[in-house]
Structure formats: structure tokens, C-alpha cells
Amino acid sequence: MALPRMPAPIRLRELIRTIRTARTQAEEREMIQKECAAIRSSFREEDNTYRCRNVAKLLYMHMLGYPAHFGQLECLKLIASQKFTDKRIGYLGAMLLLDERQDVHLLMTNCIKNDLNHSTQYVQGLALCTLGCMGSSEMCRDLAGEVEKLLKTSNSYLRKKAALCAVHVIRKVPELMEMFLPATKNLLSEKNHGVLHTSVVLLTEMCERSPDMLAHFRKNEKLVPQLVRILKNLIMSGYSPEHDVSGISDPFLQVRILRLLRILGKGDDDSSEAMNDILAQVATNTETSKNVGNAILYETVLTIMDIKSESGLRVLAINILGRFLLNNDKNIRYVALTSLLKTVQTDHNAVQRHRSTIVDCLKDLDVSIKRRAMELSFALVNGNNIRGMMKELLYFLDSCDPEFKADCASGVFLAAEKYAPSKRWHIDTIMRVLTTAGSYVRDDSVPNLIQLITNSVEMHAYTVQRLYKALLDDISQQPLVQVASWCIGEYGDLLVSGQCEEEEPIQVTEDEVLDVLEGLLVSNLSTPVTRGYALTAIMKLSTRFTSVNRIKKVVSIYGSSIDVELQQRAVEYNALFKKYDHMRPALLERMPIMEKTASNGPTEIVQTNGEAEPSVVEAKHPPPVTQPTNQANDLLDLLGGNDVVPVIQTTVPTKPASAGGELLDLLGDLSLSGIPPMTAYNKNGLKIDFTFERANPNPNIAVITIHASNSTEADMTDFVFQAAVPKTFQLQLLSPSSNVVPTLNQGTVTQVIRVLNPQKQQLRMRIKLTYTHKGSAVQDLAEVNNFPPQSWQ
């Protein structure tokens, strides 16, 4: 008894038409669900007639994004059917719905195997296509033999498909590459362009995968002459309607051959020589009025640049690219810029000739072109053209989209660093970048700039003045504000005294400067980091300005700030004003010249971060190292060389990069810790005593205070105390209280030495004393070996 038949399922085009009428997503989903249900029940009925139609509809729904996995098995049934229309949809479904990860696909293997040997070429073609699309490694291994057989057939329709299928097999199972080698011998003698094309693809794949194959093809098969011959025929032959595209004969094949030539010629002199002529011919004879011609020229240029071509050919190639740059078609300009970027390293001079055109491309409307032009411009900057190029690039920075600004700013900094013609130009350029794109510069540019400014000693006044003026205009760009406040803190005295040489000095009072800095502290635009910079700058000015009271007030206010960072700083600075006022000048002195971080030693104590304040924030930036690293190493240097003196005297800064707590350690634990004092030196009336403290919590640091007294009847002036320790120690000498040791023990000169003794070795020291006594200079060396054991244990 037959069940009542359902109405025939609708055709695919009906379904598409229906779904297109849906006005909302919900409506569409409803339609699809209804149809899916119908299809499912049809599948359950095992309806052979309409299976093909149903699967086609399923594929459409799959494309729209709806799940279609229940159709997978149906695809297999279609493949197994005898009807071509069924097979066609079945294989299509397999390619779209199935992949290696589904177990179902293995069931296809047998079907494919049979179909590869089918009597109809279209069926064989289907099988090849599907195998080449989604065959797994096992399937490929099983069926490689069949594919190889088809590669040798005379049927060009099948041959071309077999070639691409072989590409897939090789990708999946690289060991099988050898198997296809014999079949490739005759591939290039085919007349059919489809076969030629896919054969070239196959050969390309083999050469790319295996250097042995590559060598083999170069030497034994004489591949290059064959390809050259084919290419020549294509160019020289007249109009052939079969493959003509806008007047050029099979441009796709030409492009593919050129690419294979590139691989063959790369790094190989003989091959490159064999193709020189044909490349020149293609480059000069190809019609450039249409896009097709340009596509071929583009590929030719890429090939010329990659192989070992003679210089004449390379120049020809770059000139072609130069012509591309002037082309009206945007695509061509883009392509030219991309290629020039690849070649600018190797053929720098040739590309330089086109510099002005490249710079013009910066003004193009297209985003991709602008980016390429920018990268290329940076690559072309050198010592000769830096001024002109920078003008253009800065102008570009002004007007470009935000997505470019960060890269452009970094590029400008790098180029300026490498090729700056003068320090003033360098600083001007940096300021320009900070004012136009200040919020886009990278984080590490702030310490780099600070270092640069510190090192250009003669520009300090000019720099601080310009930065001050920039601050007056705009305080929203944080990197600029940070650099500016740091500079004002350092060089505020130069600002106020109006010492600028480079440009008209401005009249600025101390109060105005403090107003600006305080403004930064309260402004909503300032980030916490910036506020930290501003507070420190204010503090530094306490040694450079006279209005110390105002500064004291500001600092004490922030002692109760909600921001923990600011509060900590303010509290510490307050301490500096109160208990440790005698250390304040030394701590807040002018920065010495910093060296690049590359010379850092492993220890952290001596490695200062170049800042006079014990801040946590600055510690994040790579600490530029000051001269003190030297002193730990050179026992001999210290005692031999005279110019080490100023270095040791001025190194004040304190803290290891770890935490602000260390300063408190230094200041907080000056109480005597029970180690007996000792006399280190006693000669000619000069007596030097050592007293000891231990800097908690770091027990490796011994803090020694020297007390120098003079028992003679004349003062000892220009008194300088130097010390050196063995290599395993590190030493830091702070500033002395004075350099006159008054006569007749009326007073002492004190100086603090900090010694790091990580290996807990016995402390030894060599000291050098110089002073002027009764008009003559006195110098003496001594060894100090009588340190009490508690000082270094």
C-alpha cells in the first residue's frame, strides 16, 4: 500500500526566489526551517528522484549560514548514483559540506576510485576535482596511482585537472612527489593552454617544496629553455581568438610562466642568464595601455628583481615601476609602490631617482597607497635628503589619518636620530612631532627624548624655552607635557634667567613657571604619570628657584593626595625639606650626561635610572646609566686618572630601580648600628675616621660616613676624598659637606660612602686624598684594611 505522496519538493530557484522576498531575518529563518523540515522528511523517505534537488537547496541554505550536516550522507548517495546530474550535485555537496574532519568522507574513497576510471570524461573530471579539493592524506595515498595515470592521458580536459589534483596530493603526502616526476616530462609539450597552465602550477609546487627537485629541473630537464620557448611563442604569435584578452595572448599563462622562471632563476647564475633575453623582450614589447599588459609587466619586474639579472635589466625594471607610479590607475600605482618597497634595500640608488614621485603619493586619497608611500619614504631617507624629506613627512603627519600617526611618528624619530644634521634641527623636529601627534607617540619615546635633550648640553636653554611655550598653548598631549615638565624641572633656572641664544629669550618669572606646573597638577587632562612628573619638577625647582616657600606649600598639600603615587612622593619630598635639608641640593642637582642603556651591568644598586627622585614610575623606563658604573671596576683607573674626579662627586642619585622605599632606608636608618668607628687615615695632621651604619633592609649595603679633621694651623682647601674598592664590591660616593677642612680641629668634613658587598667579602679600600695646604698641593694614597668585621659580614 502506497503512502500518500507528498507534493514534489520545490526547485532551487523557487526557494531562492521565496527567500529573497523575506523582509526580516526572522522571516527568512522561518522559511528556511520550514523547507529544512520538508527536506528532512524527503530524505527519510529515501526518495531518489528528488534527492538531487533537495541537496541543491540544502547547499544554498548552507551558504546562507544555516546548519546542513544532515545532508552529508545524502551527498554520498548522490555520488554513488549513476546519473550524471546526481553525481554533479553530490560531488559539489561533498566539496562544500565535507572536509577531512568528518568520518563520512572516507566512504567516498571507493566512489571516487570508480569514477576516476569512468567512461565519461566529465565524471572523471568531477572525481579529480573533488579529490583535489578535499581529499585526506589516506585518500590521496590510495588514489595517487590513478591520478598519475590520468596525468599521462592524451585527453587534455582530464590532464589539466589531474595536474591540479596532483598538486593537492603532493601537499598532503609530500613523499609521493617522486611518483609524479616521470609524468611531468611531456607536460610542457602540450598545445592545450589549460594543460600548460596547470602543468606550470604543478612544476611550481614541486620546485617550491623540494630543493632537490628544483636542482633536478634546472639541470636535467632543461626546464628554463622550454619555458622560454613557450613564452616566446605566446608573445610572437599573432592574434589567437582562443586565449586573447584585450589583445594579449593568454596573459594568465604568461604570468604563471614568469613566476616559475623566477623560482628557477633565483640564486642560480646559469638559469638567470638563459632567461635574460626573454625578460627584456617581455618588458619592452608588452602593450601597457590595458590592465592585462600591466599585469604581465608587474610579474616580469618581480622576476627580474629576484633573479641574478644584469644591472641593465634591473634598471629597466625599476624604470617600469617608475612609469607605473605615474599611471592614472590606482591599482597600478599601488602595485608599483609595493614592488619598490621590496627592492629598495637592494637597488637603493635606482629607487632614489623616483623619490619625488613617491613623496607625491603621500598625498593620494587611497589609504593603501598612502601607507605604502609612507613606508617607502622612510626607507629612502638618507643623510642628503633628510631636510626635504622630513618636511614632507611632517606635513603628512599633520594631515594623515589616526591609524598612521603612531607609525609615522616612530619613523620620524628613527630617521631623525640617524640622520639629524644638527642638534637644533633634531630637537625642533621632535617638538614638531610632539605637538602635532603627541598622543600617538609610543611610550618609550618619552625617556628617549629626555635622554637626547640631556645630552645636547648647549641646547638646554632653547629647548626648555620652546617646551615652556608649547605648554602654554596646550596641555592635553601627555608625552609632550611629560617631557616639558621634566625639562622645566631640570633647566628652570635657564628659563627664568632668559639665557637663550638660539632665539629671542622670553621673560618669565618663577611664579609663572610654578603656575604652569601647578596647573598641570590640578588639570583633568593630566594622567597620574604626568602629575608625578609635574610634582617632581616642582620639587627640583626648589634648588633652582628662590621662592622655596611656595614650593614647600605645594609639596605639603599633596602629602594628603588621594593618588597614592603623588602622596608618596610628596611625603618624601617633605622629608627632604625637613629632616634632610642638607641633602636636598645634592639630591636635586642637575643631571649628568646619560649613556645608552646598552652598557648596563648586572647590579641594580649602582645602576641608577638617571632621575633624582625615588619614584616608582620612572623605574619602568629603561634606566640610562650614569658614569658610576665605571668606578666599581677600575681600581687602577681611579688612582691613576685625574678626570675621574668630577664624576664621583656629582653622582648623587640614590635608588635602585626597585622601590621608593630605598630612599627612606637611606634616610631613615642613619642611626649608628653598633659597629665601632675606626680611624682610616692619620697623617700630616689629617685624620679621617669612618663611622658605620647599615642600610636596612638590605644587609649587603654598608653605609660609611667619613669624618675628616685637620689638626694643623692652616686650612686644607680643595679637599677631595676618593675611594676605590675591589671588583666584587660596588661603591657610591655622595657629595661631601664641604671641601675645606678647617684648621685646628674646628670642624670636620663629612662624606657618605655606600658600599655594596653582595658576596660578603672582606672589605678593603684604597683611598686618595688631595688638598691644598699652605699654598702647595698635597696628594696621598693609602690602603684601608682595618675594617671591623661587623661592617662587612
Partner 1 sequence: MIKFVLMVNRQGQTRLSRYYHSVELSRRAALEADVVRYCLSRKKDQCSFVEYKDFKLVYRQYAALYIVVGITDSENELSIYELVHNFVEVLDKYFSRVIMFNLDRVHIILDEIIQNGHIVETNKSRILAPLTTIDKMVDS
Binding site for partner 1 (CB under 8 A): 12-13, 16-17, 56, 59-60, 62-65, 67, 84-85, 88-89, 92, 95-96, 99, 122, 125, 129, 132-133, 157, 160-161, 164-165, 167-168, 193-194, 197-198, 201, 242-243, 245, 250-252, 255-256, 259, 291-292, 294-295, 298-299, 302, 330-335, 365-369
List alpha helices for 65-176, DSSP H: 72-80, 84-97, 108-116, 121-134, 137-151, 156-172
C-alpha cell at 408: 609615522
Q: Which is nearer to partner 1, 65 or 674 (CB)?
A: 65
Grid cell listed for 634:
677600575
CA terminus-to-terminus distance, the chain: 106
Minimum distance from residue 28 beta carbon to partner 1 (Å): 10
**206 within 8 A of 221, measured Cβ to Cβ:** no
**For residue 264, what are the contacts with CB-CB under 8 A and spacing of at least 6?**
207, 214, 217, 218, 223, 224, 227, 271, 275
Identify which of residues 295 and 470 has a Cβ nearer to partner 1 in the complex.
295
Q: How many CA atoms lie within 13 A of 386 on its CB side?
A: 18
Q: Collect all residues with Cβ–Cβ distance below 8 Å to 136 and sequence separation of at least 6.
A: 100, 105, 106, 172
626 φ, ψ to 5°? -95, 175
Shortest Å, Cβ 189 to partner 1 = 19
- Determine how β-strand 248-249 pairs with β-strand 701-710: unpaired
- Shortest distance (Å) from residue 408 CB to partner 1: 17
Number of alpha helices (DSSP H) and beta strands (DSSP E) in the chain: 36, 10
Question: What is d(CA 431, CA 419) in angstroms, rounded to the nearest whole number?
Answer: 17
Alpha helices in 611-736 (DSSP H): 628-633, 635-640, 645-650, 661-668
Name 678's bridge partners: 690
For partner 1, the closer CB: 71 or 736: 71
Shortest spacing between CB 350 and partner 1, in angstroms: 22
| 620 contacts: CB under 8 Å, gap ≥ 6 | none
Indicate the residue among 337 and 576 with the shorter CB distance to partner 1: 337
Least separation in angstroms between CB 295 and partner 1: 3
CB of 400 to partner 1, least distance (A): 16
Minimum distance, C-beta of residue 446 to partner 1, in the bound complex (Å): 31
Q: Which is nearer to partner 1, 65 or 789 (CB)?
A: 65
Residue with smaller CB distance to partner 1, 85 or 497: 85
Smallest distance, Å, CB 202 to partner 1?
9
Residue 550 pairs with which residues in a beta bridge? none
Nearest to 313 by CA among 284, 356, 287: 284
Backbone phi, then psi, for 256, in 5-degree steps? -65, -40
- Could you tell me which residues come within 8 angstroms of residue 117 by beta carbon, excluding any fewer than 6 positions away? 124, 146
Instruction: Return d(Cα 298, Cα 295) in angstroms, integer.
Output: 5
Distance CA 705, CA 720 (A): 15
Cell of 450: 629626555
Question: In the numeric block, which cell numbers belong to residue 282?
Answer: 617581455
Residue number with CB closer to partner 1 (294 or 709) = 294
Q: Which three cell numbers stand for residue 201?
A: 602550477
Least spacing, CB of residue 266 vs partner 1, in Å: 13
Question: Whose Cβ is closer to partner 1: residue 291's or residue 793's?
Answer: 291
CB of 46 to partner 1, least distance (A): 22
Residue 1 CB, shortest distance to partner 1, in Å, is 33
Of 137 and 761, CB closest to partner 1: 137
Taking phi over 0 as left and psi of -120 to 50 as alpha, with beta for the rest, 317 belongs to: alpha
Least distance in angstroms from the C-beta of 201 to partner 1: 5
Residue 131 to residue 105: CA distance in whole angstroms: 11
Q: What whole-number distance in Å separates Cα of residue 704 and Cα of residue 729?
A: 14
Question: Closer CB to partner 1, residue 57 or residue 540?
Answer: 57
Residues 403 and 368 sit within 8 Å (Cβ to Cβ): no
Q: How far is the CB of 311 from partner 1 (least distance, A)?
A: 25
Closer Cβ to partner 1, 202 or 471, answer by number: 202
Which residue, 403 or 503, has its beta carbon nearer to partner 1? 403
Kindly tell me which of 256 and 354 has the beta carbon lying closer to partner 1. Answer: 256
Please give the Cα distance from 344 to 308 (Å, whole number). 16
